[in-house]
Structure 1
Amino acid sequence: MAPMAEPVAAAPAPPHFVIVPLPAQGHTIPMADLARLLAERGARASLVVTPVNAARLRGVAGLAARAKLRLEIVEVPFPADSGLPPGVENVDQITDYGHFLPFFLALKELAGPLEAYLRAQAVRPSCVISDWSNSWTAGVARRVGIPRLFFHGPSCFYSLCDINAATHGLQQQDDTERYLVPGMPVRVEVTMGTRPGFLNSAGFEALKDAAMEAMRTADGAVVNTFTDLEDEFIACYEVALGKPVWTLGPFCLCNRDDDAMASRGNKLGIDQSAVTAWLDAMDTDSVIYVNFGSLARKVPKYLYEVGHGLEDSGKPFVWVVKESEVSTPEVQEWLSALEARAAGRGLVVRGWAPQLAILSHRAVGGFVTHCGWNSLLESVAHGVPVVTWPHFSDQFLNERLAVDVLGVGVPIGVTAPVLLFGDEAMRFGRADVARAVSALMDGGEEADERRRRAKVYGEKARRAMEKGGSSYESLTQLIQSFTLQGGKQH
């Protein structure tokens, strides 16, 4: 009688990561990239979003389907009784400052639909990865019995400042209004206006306390950065947090072709091929790209100063202007006149821009940025130095990282935060814009060193994401840890 064959163990099911972004472009875009990274490595990734945000992710879903990736968009209804105007489901749609608190409070009502989705799965999902601001996911994950990681959008440099300031307080320097952030491996000074801390505004205290508590009770953190960029800050942050910190970035480098770059974020305000054709005609490293992110909106007075500053700099430029910034006939007429004067040297993009396609083009040699971490990291990942122009939140500390630590930035000189819907209090003019752009783009020893350092970091970013690189291997370990844990049947 032939010996019986040994039973073959069934291969473990791929781990299932349920990803819950904050409905804001600067948070949703990197988490969609994270979902793609997980799916490309064999995991299953589900992005839980509301209908408006699901519509913005159709391009991501379509690319994943064509590549046969296990990436799905899970649509849950936005609360009908939120007190917000109909259809407002993303931070960038808010036009009244008084709607921010109701918006964040409404998000807590998504706990029920998320829990229902998790419980409806035949095999319990392996892990919830939720945005730091979505503290309401903590109770859901605990009730269903699923590990939870939090995703924090800024740099580890910023996050370390934040947790140290929260734990130890800020130390005032002499009799000035400057404060020292304790526990940092480098000296970091802030003002009360530029201090670390999300949800610092009056009325948001309970939301901030809940977010800090959800951070402390999470099983770990996922951050969009890489070891060769922030090694000492990553190590210190992990110690301060007291739990694993998975650094898996730059996430943006998972977008390797035109279709992937064009599908990120929102409907483009210009055809990507038109931008590429315009850049193709320019010299290498000659063009300055200008984009202040999805939220900050310039009032006409300062929109004019930016435009005239770019014109006065004499450099070729691609400038992204929001539709909300050119909503009056006067501004439209002014912008059309600027375009006519700068024809052949300046390209104005109205609306959403294909930022990765622009930054990855050989002609782009500098970026005027608001220092949101996504934009700053995308610039670093493509070896492009920056003019730093922070507006609020983490952006001032991201500026310090770019200028003082990494040595890839020229500050425009802004020292105080501005309101989201206007920058009337901002003190700058066209001469400041022209000066900063020229300092970045004109050459000379300092400019050449910034450019060299940016290109070195760009190469290190590429290597981090390749097999054997720090981020690639960190993602391998993350997936394996949840594969070995395995899902449980309901």
Structure 2
Amino acid sequence: MDKSNGLRVILFPLPLQGCISPMLQLANILHSRGFSITVVHTRFNAPKASSHPLFTFLEIPDGLSETQIKDDPTSNVLSLVEQININAESPFRDCLQKLLVQESERVSCLIDDCGWLFTQSVAESLNLPRLVLSTFKATFLNAYPIFPRILTKGYFSLSDWEAEDSVLEFPPLLKRDHSWLFREDGEKLNQFFDTVVKNTMRSSGLLFMSCEELEKDSLTLAKETFMVPVFAIGPFHSYFSASSSSLFRQDDTCIHWLDNQDDKSVIYVSLGSVVNITKTEFLEIAWGLSNSKQCFLWVLRPGLVLGAEWNELFSEGLLRSLEEKGKIVKWSPQEEVLAHRAVGGFLTHNGWNSTLESICEGVPMICLPGGSDQMLNARFVSDVWRVGIHLEGKIERKEIEKAVRMLMVESEGKKIRERMNVMKDEVGRSVKNGGSSLRSIETLVNHILSL
């Protein structure tokens, strides 16, 4: 850590794994630049304070019952965000007021997730500058102002030939992507998008876990769209690992297993911390992996399969086939896995964290997005950057087997890998001396000091 500058930053992540990890990585970045850090968090999905002894953690009530928590409220993310925004506003205001009075160091600003809808008003009422962290690709957040217009286009009931058309307002998405992108209630989504846009435009700055090498034009557009200073300081995990912020117990035995595999021989399979699949989809993935005859490491977190525990679904023959070629764990140290010499591909849901981690390690992807920004990330991976294969929503054993074999052993996979290695090098330069992200961090630090 640089010498303390006598200023404190308050961070407030949404209680989702994909939002908590980048916020705590950001906390490490700012702490290394001399800022003291206080993390305000909800009771649900509380980060492990013991893993971050240099920060102060303050818990606020979130209004979720024990029954709701047991039933996993992340199964419907929009409903969780809506409810927790209602429940947490008053406790957060009280907490922030006390912090501003009690802290011996001056609180310079609040940085919170763009999914918090009340924090801009609270911060303004207390004369505290607020900066917004987007855990999405800048391209996705830029589309928030136009999403309500897209929702009126009727892309949900299209003929087969229309479904393949691109969306002129939001390339590179296809029209059929929107039935997955907007699976929630349209009116609620419109209100959410509108509030996020207005709050961001009233903020003191916008942070992205991205870099110019990945989306320079989108970052320029973000400045024009939201009319606030924009800081592209990612990929965050290139500075500080996300492993200490995991909400799940990581199974490190998979690293020893990988040590015994050949270079680039293993397909890593993980659909993240929120995506759910049906029993049928689960079995199709299992048979696809088995039939591909490729080694695999498969993350099967509790609750991934709707209405069942995954180990109840395997026949004796399928289980025996999988055990011959693969290893199954409940959760993995993903950054370490992707960096391992044995991993040659990543079957992913294309959350932005996972997509960035895969790019930074030069691991080409098989795209199986679940919804929201994952659809956009997958399109960029497969159609724009051409560093992966899109399953196009076909969770069928033959399609999965075909994609795995194409990526891992066929000539097309070699070409994809070559393009990914070029991309890895380009993004890697952003976090080195003189790189775009490092320069942006220094600009951000100076901006916070000026508030």
Q: TM-score, normalised by structure 1?
A: 0.81
CA displacement at 1:277 relative to structure 2: 1.0
Alignment of 1:293 with 2:272, yes or no, is yes
Q: Which residue of 1 aligns with 2:395?
A: 428
Contact 2:81 2:115 (8 Å CA) reproduced = no
CA displacement at 1:187 relative to structure 2: 5.5
CA displacement at 1:442 relative to structure 2: 1.5
Q: Give 5+ residue unaligned stretches, structure 2.
A: none
CA distance in 2 between counterparts of 1:465 and 1:101 reads: 35
Counterparts of 1:17-416 in structure 2 under 5 Å?
17-54=9-46, 56-58=47-49, 60-62=51-53, 65=54, 71-79=55-63, 82=64, 85=67, 87=69, 91-92=73-74, 101-120=82-101, 121-165=103-147, 176=162, 178=165, 180-182=167-169, 188-191=173-176, 193-194=178-179, 201-203=186-188, 205-255=190-240, 260=241, 262-270=243-251, 272=252, 274-325=253-304, 328=308, 331-332=311-312, 334=314, 338-350=318-330, 352-414=331-393
Contact 2:258 2:340 (8 Å CA) reproduced = yes
CA distance in 2 between counterparts of 1:436 and 1:398 reads: 18
Alignment of 1:473 with 2:439, yes or no, is yes
CA distance in 2 between counterparts of 1:372 and 1:262 reads: 16
Segment drifting more, 322-331 vs 340-349: 322-331
How many residues align? The count is: 442
Contact 2:172 2:383 (8 Å CA) reproduced = no
Q: Return the index of the structure with the highest Cα Rg.
A: 1
Q: Deviation per CA, 1:363-384: give whole Å up to 9, x if none.
A: 1111011111111111111111
Structure with greater contact order relative to length (CA < 8 Å, sep ≥ 6): 1
- How has the CA–CA distance of structure 1 residues 316 and 12 changed in structure 2, closer, same or farther, with 3 Å as cutoff? closer
- How has the CA–CA distance of structure 1 residues 136 and 223 changed in structure 2, closer, same or farther, with 3 Å as cutoff? same
CA displacement at 1:318 relative to structure 2: 0.5
CA distance in 1 between counterparts of 2:10 and 2:315 reads: 44
Amino acid at match of 1:141: A
Amino acid at match of 2:409: D
CA displacement at 1:168 relative to structure 2: 8.8
RMSD after superposition: 3.2
CA distance in 1 between counterparts of 2:192 and 2:11 reads: 20
How high is the sequence identity, in percent, across the aligned residues? Answer: 25
Segment drifting more, 220-229 vs 449-458: 449-458
CA distance in 2 between counterparts of 1:198 and 1:300 reads: 20
Task: Give 3-state SS (helix, strand or coil) of 1:249's partner.
Answer: coil
Q: Deviation per CA, 1:331-353: give whole Å up to 9, x if none.
A: 43617764533335201012x32
- How has the CA–CA distance of structure 1 residues 90 and 408 changed in structure 2, closer, same or farther, with 3 Å as cutoff? same
CA displacement at 1:302 relative to structure 2: 1.4
CA distance in 1 between counterparts of 2:149 and 2:68 reads: 40
CA distance in 2 between counterparts of 1:342 and 1:402 reads: 28
CA displacement at 1:59 relative to structure 2: 5.1
CA displacement at 1:166 relative to structure 2: 5.1
Residue among 434, 459, 464 paired with 2:425? 459
Contact 2:45 2:247 (8 Å CA) reproduced = no
CA distance in 1 between counterparts of 2:266 and 2:369 reads: 21
Task: Give 3-state SS (helix, strand or coil) of 2:314's partner.
Answer: helix
CA distance in 2 between counterparts of 1:317 and 1:277 reads: 14
Contact 2:365 2:389 (8 Å CA) reproduced = yes
CA displacement at 1:205 relative to structure 2: 4.7
- How has the CA–CA distance of structure 1 residues 30 and 330 changed in structure 2, closer, same or farther, with 3 Å as cutoff? closer
CA distance in 2 between counterparts of 1:200 and 1:461 reads: 36
Contact 1:412 1:433 (8 Å CA) reproduced = yes
Segment drifting more, 476-485 vs 385-394: 476-485
Contact 1:158 1:196 (8 Å CA) reproduced = no
CA displacement at 1:108 relative to structure 2: 2.9
Q: Which residue of 2 aligns with 1:422?
A: none
- How has the CA–CA distance of structure 1 residues 451 and 250 changed in structure 2, closer, same or farther, with 3 Å as cutoff? same
CA displacement at 1:388 relative to structure 2: 0.6
Q: Deviation per CA, 1:6-61: give whole Å up to 9, x if none.
A: xxxxx98344221111111111111111111111222222221123433x333531
- How has the CA–CA distance of structure 1 residues 143 and 366 changed in structure 2, closer, same or farther, with 3 Å as cutoff? same
CA distance in 1 between counterparts of 2:192 and 2:77 reads: 19
Contact 2:31 2:37 (8 Å CA) reproduced = yes
CA distance in 2 between counterparts of 1:453 and 1:226 reads: 18
CA displacement at 1:479 relative to structure 2: 0.7
